[in-house]
Chains A and B, each alone.
Chain A
Amino acid sequence: MITGAQAMVKCLESEGVEVVFGYPGAAICPFYDSLTASAIHHILVRQEQNGGHSANGYARIANKPGVCIATSGPGATNLITALATAYMDSIPMVAITGQVATDVLGRDVFQEADITGAAEPFTKHSYLVKDVNELPRVFKEAFYIAATGRPGPVLIDVPVDIQRRELSKEFKYPDQVQIIGYKPSIKGHNLQIKKVADALSNAKKPLICVGGGAFAAEGHEMVRRLAEEYNIPAISTMMGIGVFPSSHPLYMGMLGMHGVKHANQIVREADLLMIIGARVGDRAVSSPDVISPNTTIVHIDIDPAEIGKNIGTTIPLVGDCRTVIHQLIEHCNSHNRPGDFSEWTQYVRGLRDTYTPDTSPREYGINPKYFLRRLSEKMPDDAVYVADVGQNQIWSANHIRIRKGRFLTSGGMGTMGYSVPAAIGAKLADPKREVIAGCGDGSFQMQMMELATICQDQVGVKIIIFRNRKLGMVKEIQKKSYGSRYIATSLEGDPNFTVLASAYGIPSESIKASEEIDGAIERLLSANGPFVLECVVDPEESSI
C-alpha cells in the first residue's frame, strides 16, 4: 500500500495539477519526498505568503484552483495573508500544510500552530486529516469546494505521521463528492428571472454594475452579451475591470471612491441598477445615499449571503452568473424585450466622452497616468496586468486599457506585495501571454525576494516600479486628513532598484522624463525574459 504522502501526490495528479507553489520544512518532508517521483512542477517561492499569491494569480488565469504548500508552524502562519487575500476576492485555491504528529497535537510542540483554527475566518473550508484513508475524499472535496459556488481557498492540514502512514485500502480517487451541506445553486429561480425581465422592460435608465464574480463563473462574455443585446451601459468595480474592454462603447469605467466621476454620477441617475457578481463593498459604494432610493436594485450573485448584506435589494437573483444571465436573455427574447435605451446610452456616453485623462507631462518625473495609457497601447491585446496596492493601484485601475487581457489585483484585502508573486502564477498558467506587474516602491519591497524565484524558474514577468520614494497613498491620506503631518511614509533608505535587479541578473532600466517612456516600454515588452522598469514619479502626484 502507498503512504499518505504518496496518496497526496496522487490526489494532486488526479486533479490535473501541473504546477504547485511552496516552501518546505520538516513537517511536510514526506510529501516533498513523494513529489520527487511526480511530474508536477514545484516552484520554490521565497516566502510562503508569495506562494499563496502565486497560486492566486495562477488560479485566475488557469481558471482552476491554484495549489500552495507550506510546512507547519511559521510556514503555515506565513500563508494566512495569502489565504485572506484569496478569500476576500473569492479565488479558488487549495493550500496544503504540514502539521506536527497526531500523538503530540495540542501540546505546543516545536513548530505547532493551530492553522485550521487560525485560518478559519479566511478559508471557505478546512480539514485537519487524522485518518490516512480519508485523504482521497478530503482532496476531492477540497478541490470541489474551492472551485464551485462562490470560489475560495480551502486548507488541508496533514500531520506528518499521517503523511508517513500507509493506507489500509487500495488508493482510489473518488469520481464524485458527497457533501450534504454544500449544494450551490446554479440555475436562477424562474420567478425571479421573470421579475428581473419585467424590471428591465419597465426601466428607462438601466445600468449594469459588474464585479469579479463574472470571471469566477466564466460569465464575463455573457454579461457583455446582456449589455450588447439590449444596449445597456455598464460600469465595474475594481475586481470587474476587464469584463468589458476599456473602450467598449457601453463601458463607462470603474465606480467608487477611486473611480471615475461619471461612473459615480450615472449610478445616481440610473432607475435600474443590475449588480452582477459584486459585493458592493464600501470602496465601491461608500454610503447608501450614493444610490437613489427610487432606483430598483437587481442583485445577481451565487452567494445568497451577499444579497442584502451591503445594499438593499429589490430583486435578488441567486445563481451562477453565466447560467442566470443566459436564462434572463432567453426569457426577455421570448417574452418581453426591453425598450429602446439609446437616448440614455447616448447621454451616459456623452458624460464619458467629456472626461479627458490628464496625460500632460510633469515637471519632475513621469506622469504615471500617461505612462500606463502608452503601455496599454503597446502591450499585446491579451496581456495580463497585475496591479499592486497604493496610488499605483488607482493609477493602474483607471488608466490601464484592457482589450482581450485581464486586470488582476487584490481588490478586497488590498494586500501590498500581491503583484509580483501573482504575476509569476499568472505567467506559469499561460506562459505565452505577456504578464506585467505594476507596483509601488513600498509594495515592491514586500515582495522583491521573488526576483530569485523569477530567476530560478526563468519566469518572464515584467515588473514596473512606480518610484515616488513614499508610501504614497498613506502620505496622501496624511496630507488630506491629518494636516500634512507626515510620519512613517518616507522611503529614504531604499536601494537603487536597477542595481538590485542586476544583482539578480535581470535587465532593468530607470526613467524619469516623458521622452524616455516609449523607448523604455519598447524594451520592456521586447525583453525575452524578466525585466524591471523603474518609473520615477513626483511624490505629490495624486491618485485620481
Chain B
Amino acid sequence: MKHTFSVLVENRAGVLSRIAGLFARRAFNIESLAVGITEDPAFSRVTIVAEGSDYTVEQVEKQLNKLIDVIKVRTINPAELISRELVLIKVNAGQTERSDIMNIAEIMDAKILDISRATMTLELADTSERIDLFTELLRPFAIREIARTGTVALQKGTDTISVKK
C-alpha cells in the first residue's frame, strides 16, 4: 500500500541526505519525495510517498523520528489527504494534432505553456493518479519530454502538522 508521510525538519544542510540514507539503509522504497520551505523559514517540510506494509510504515515513522533534525513525522490518513504533483509535458504537435491536444488539455484542466511549430508544452497540477491519466492520454501523440515533481500534501480541515503542539 502507498503511504504519504509529512515530515517537518530543521532547515539545515545534510538533512535530506540523512532522510534519503535512512530509506536506502532500511530498505524502504521511496516513490516520490518533495522538499520545500514552510511558513517558518527555519523549517522545511518533506513529503514522502512510499510503498510498504504496516510494519514498514511504523518503522519509517519511528526511524525518522530518531533523526535529530526531524521535528515531526505524520502519516496522512488517505481520507484526509489533499495532494498535488506538478507535471510539464512536451508533446509532438503538428497542425493536425493541435486541436485534439487542446481538447484533452481542456478536459483535464491543463495549461498550455508553450507552443511551437512541431510541439506543445503543457502543465498540469493534480493528483498523482490524474497526472498518470493525463500522461496516458497524451502518449499517442508521442511525448518528447516529461518533468514531474514529487507529491506535496496537507490534511483536510483545520488540523495542521506544525512545529508547535
Q: A116-B14, A117-B17 are in contact. Are A305 and B65 (CB under 8 A)?
A: yes
The answer, among A120, A128, A308, for a CB contact under 8 Å with B18, is A120
Q: Which of B10, B21, B71 contacts A121 (CB 8 A)?
A: B21
Nearest Cβ in chain B — how far from A146, in angstroms?
A: 11
Q: Which segment of A179-187, A350-358, A370-378, A405-413 sits at the interface?
A: A179-187
Give chain B residues whose Cβ lies under 8 Å from the Cβ of A181.
Answer: 9-10, 67-72
How distant is the Cα of A308 from the Cα of B53 in the complex, in angstroms? 14
How far is B66's CA from A145's CA once the two chains are assembled, in angstroms?
A: 11
Given A116-B14, A305-B59, A180:B66 Cβ within 8 A: no
A304 to B163, CA, bound (A): 20
Interface presence of A309 (CB below 8 A): yes
Nearest CB of A to B44, in Å: 12
Given contacts A180-B71, A181-B10, A181-B71, is CB(A120)–CB(B17) below 8 Å? yes
B21 touches A304 (CB 8 A): no
Does B62 lie at the interface of the complex (its beta carbon under 8 Å from any beta carbon of A)?
A: yes
Contacts of A304 in B (CB 8 A): 62, 65
The CA of A304 and the CA of B63, in the complex, are separated in Å by 9
How far apart are the CA atoms of A140 and B132 in the complex, in Å? 49
User: Could you tell me the distance between the alpha carbons of A70 and B56 in the complex, rounded to whole angstroms?
Assistant: 37
B165 at the A interface (CB under 8 A) = no
- Interface residues in B, total, Cβ within 8 A: 22
Task: Please give, as numbers and ranges, the residues of chain A lying within 8 Å of B69 by CB-CB distance.
Answer: 181
As a 0/1 sequence over residues 118 to 159 of chain A, the CB contacts with chain B under 8 angstroms (1 = contact) are 001100111010000000000000000100000000000000
Q: Say yes or no: is B25 at the interface (Cβ < 8 Å to chain A).
A: yes
On whether A305 and B21 interact (CB within 8 A), knowing A180-B10, A180-B71, the answer reads no
Min C-beta distance of A185 to chain B, whole Å: 11
Contact A121 B68, beta carbon cutoff 8 Å: no
The distance from the CB of A140 to the nearest CB of chain B, in whole angstroms, is 13
Partner of A145, one of B25, B55, B62, B68: B68
> What CA separation (Å) do A191 and B47 show in the bound complex?
33
A15 within 8 A of B: no
Name the distance in Å between B10's Cβ and chain A's nearest Cβ: 6
Residue A303, interface by CB 8 Å: yes
CB neighbours of B68 from chain A (8 A): 124-125, 145, 179, 181-182
Chain A contacts of B71 at CB under 8 A? 180-181
Q: Which residues on A sit within 8 Å (CB–CB) of B18?
A: 120
Distance, CA A182 to CA B10, complexed state (A): 11
Contacts of A124 in B (CB 8 A): 68
Contact with A along B131-163 (1 / 0, CB 8 A): 000000000000000000000000000000001
Q: Are A305 and B67 in contact (CB under 8 A)?
A: no
Contact between B10 and A303 (Cβ–Cβ < 8 Å)?
A: no
What residue in chain A is nearest B66 (Cβ atoms)? A305
Give Cα A121–Cα B20 distance, bound, in whole angstroms.
Answer: 11
Q: Which residues of B contact A305 (CB under 8 A)?
A: 59, 62-63, 65-66
B14–A128 contact, CB under 8 A? yes
Kindly identify, within residues 181 to 230 of chain A, every residue whose CB is under 8 Å from any CB belonging to chain B: 181-182
Residues of A within 8 A of B9 (CB): 181
The residue on A at minimum CB distance from B24 is A121
Q: Quick check: is B58 within 8 A (CB to CB) of the other chain?
A: yes
Q: Which residues of B contact A182 (CB under 8 A)?
A: 68
Does A303 lie within 8 Å of B66, measured CB to CB?
Answer: yes
CA A182 to CA B67, docked complex, whole Å? 8
Task: For B25, list chain A residues within 8 Å (CB).
Answer: 121
- 1/0 per residue B61-86: CB within 8 Å of A? 01101111111100000000000000
How far apart sit A304 and B59, CA to CA, in the bound complex (Å)?
9
> Inside 8 A of B67's CB, which chain A residues have their CB?
181
Q: Give the most central of B55, B62, B63, B66: most A CB within 10 Å.
A: B66
Q: Which residues of B contact A128 (CB under 8 A)?
A: 13-14
Pick the contact of A180: B13, B62, B65, B163 (CB < 8 A).
B163
B13, B67, B68, B163: most-surrounded residue (chain A CB, <10 A): B68
Bound together, the chains give a CA A120 to CA B25 distance in angstroms of: 11
Residues of B within 8 A of A303 (CB): 66
- Given the complex of chains A and B, what is the CA–CA distance between A124 and B18 in angstroms? 11
CB neighbours of B63 from chain A (8 A)? 305
Residues of B within 8 A of A145 (CB): 68
On whether A120 and B21 interact (CB within 8 A), knowing A180-B163, A181-B71, the answer reads yes
B62 to chain A, nearest CB (A): 4
Q: Point out the residues of chain B lying under 8 angstroms from A179, CB to CB.
A: 68
Min CB gap B69→A, angstroms:
6
Q: Assess whether A309 is in contact with B70, with CB atoms less than 8 Å apart.
A: no
Report how far A120 CA is from B22 CA in the complex, Å: 9
Write out the residue numbers on chain A whose beta carbons fall within 8 Å of the beta carbon of B62.
304-305
Q: What per-residue 1/0 map shows which CB atoms of A297-329 lie under 8 Å from chain B?
A: 000000111001100000000000000000000
**A126 closest partner in B (C-beta):** B14
Neighbouring B residues of A120 by C-beta, 8 Å: 17-18, 21
Shortest CB distance A305–B (Å): 4
B104 to chain A, nearest CB (A): 45
In the bound assembly, the distance between CA atoms of A120 and B70 in angstroms comes to 15
- Nearest neighbor of B21 in chain A, beta-carbon distance: A120
Distance from A138 Cβ to chain B, minimum over Cβ atoms (Å)? 12
- Closest beta carbon of chain B to A14's beta carbon, Å: 21
- A381 vs B9: C-alpha distance when bound (angstroms): 49
User: How many angstroms from the CA of A523 to the CA of B116 in the assembled complex?
Assistant: 93
Per-position binary interface string of chain A over residues 490-506, scored 1 when its CB falls under 8 Å from any chain B CB and 0 otherwise: 00000000000000000
Separation of A181 and B8 alpha carbons in the complex (Å): 9
Judging by beta carbons under 8 Å apart, are B17 and A308 in contact?
no
Instruction: Please indicate the chain B residues that have their CB under 8 angstroms from the CB of A121 in the complex.
Output: 21, 25
11 contacts between A and B (CB under 8 A): A116-B14, A120-B18, A121-B25, A126-B14, A180-B10, A181-B69, A181-B70, A181-B71, A181-B72, A305-B59, A309-B59
Q: Nearest 4 A-B pairs (CB), nearest first? A: A305-B62, A181-B71, A125-B68, A182-B68
- Sample of 12 further A-B pairs with CB below 8 A, known A181-B10, A181-B71, A305-B66: A116-B14, A117-B17, A120-B18, A120-B21, A121-B25, A124-B68, A128-B13, A180-B10, A181-B9, A305-B62, A305-B63, A309-B59
